Structure 1
């Protein structure tokens, strides 16, 4: 099969022929029909952690070729989506940018017929990132049950001391039009609906994104242009003295310091998407609340090593991811992010998509200017590539290998 593989020495990636991965007992083999790009995919190609030959990429959507042995939930031909870690860590696991992938069966979700493969590919990593921050780390009640580590009970945020009054709360999302921010707003809304609590949802984004963010499914109560000099003060005014929860979906430079200044008091909660150890953000003063951070990869339930971090395997984080994807499968209540279909498939991911994403920071994305229509600057859109059309012929050709 074809796969996009890392060339660590030259800090790039190229398409080559590799062996179709061998399916384990609890894995599902998927023919990949679409992939979506995330900043980490480009970051760890241009700044490699993995070794040459690793298949890169995270988000995928496709069709089941071979379900796990004795699994009654997944069937051949079903449309599924999920994410892998790609070359974003020091390990040997292959990523998602390939014609066929294997994934743990309980970490894929069923794609509804109303959703395209391209749309489905945009969901898994970013939606889980938002869900982990909001429910798993900050403790807002999830609209689905999940079991905590060492307990048989279901998670409920009444067990933690929240900063809100129990009947209403305010939530601020910085980077509201980012891929993670778009899912975060939807999940906060789903939590409020599930619990019957009143919410004031405030976002910071470019003013050009306001019309989209004011409409469903985001329905922000108030929006602030992040380029306004006094935006933290405006957030405090709109929330009546500070917000109960804040989610910094950028976490670069001074954003963490500024977002933390919008919190109501020391019992408020804040989550970030990038670690301090990675050097993406700085805090010149002490923060009123320690922001919570955790890698989305925790949802895979395996040890992760990247940058200067070693993230231990977390059974609880994996259980949360499984519960979240099951909720999506059974009762899909999230709108997929807007997508931009990029031409060329695997062959053009590095030359086009990774160039648009840059090598790490948001500022990197401003340096490249090209005239092709698909190379317009990224804004409130997910870059996706089509790898194949749904092909029964391709499924029939591969499935016998895994028939037992």
Structure 2
């Protein structure tokens, strides 16, 4: 029995599981859906990674490359594809472009060695966010990253750039930029549009403040370039928005889900279609996700939904918070990876191990343990007790 702290300051007794579920990794990629997972990076525990919101120039981050690559092999072993160098990897939140480029190169080489699928983020974060740039300079930044990603052997995920907003004066400018990037791409790309609810710097993207009008122009670019668009992801999006979006996409263009509420239903689909997925939440629940997709491949949609729905409480807890605090979902990911024995410490790029409270981490432990996610429950309990002792709760 272990006593875990609640947000109100009380302690709650919890009896940990004694046997984990048997998640035998098969390495088999799902055939019924495309399933991309992002993956956290493992910081070097002895490095001076800049503290969160430090009032000093951000130092280049130092990663534990062996542990970082090992976690990617864990995801591939459960059949998931890898979406590399996005926000789960601390992109622009402690991880600079040179390190992101190295991460993409290393992960792509690892993917080739193990037969895993990989895509990498193409953005413009080598530009100073406080600087002023021309449209040509923003495009050049996109092109530099596109070349790095594709030369590494990864598929490109073209992300919405805040640097484009001040220099694109209407829908035609956005269309021109994306048309040029798609023409240069060697293989079909994923277009990743983040809405202002997550990043206020992207107000007016696609030339409109109105979401419906922006979506129309976004889809016009997709339709004009179907041969170069593998799929689209719009986030954060409501269930209703995603249903409408995927029904408006041209045949053969994937709609990638990334939410933490309706993903079991949207991926399972209905008589009018289904969503594929490019999501962060598979990072901590990879064994369950792999088992779920094997059931879906076997035609067991009910079993798929049962597996995925079992993770909803954990998913929503890890992302709990307002638009600011939910950005620290990675803290829970790294914490659970440490408890699970996938890495040897709970230290993070940007000092984010301090971004969540002890009661938040305790609940994450309880929910993950109850799902049987820890390969060694005794190790997870011992490490949880260390955290409690450090907080003066033992």
Give me the TM-score of the superposition, normalised by structure 1.
Answer: 0.32
Give me the TM-score of the superposition, normalised by structure 2.
Answer: 0.33
Q: Normalized per residue, which structure has more helix?
A: 2
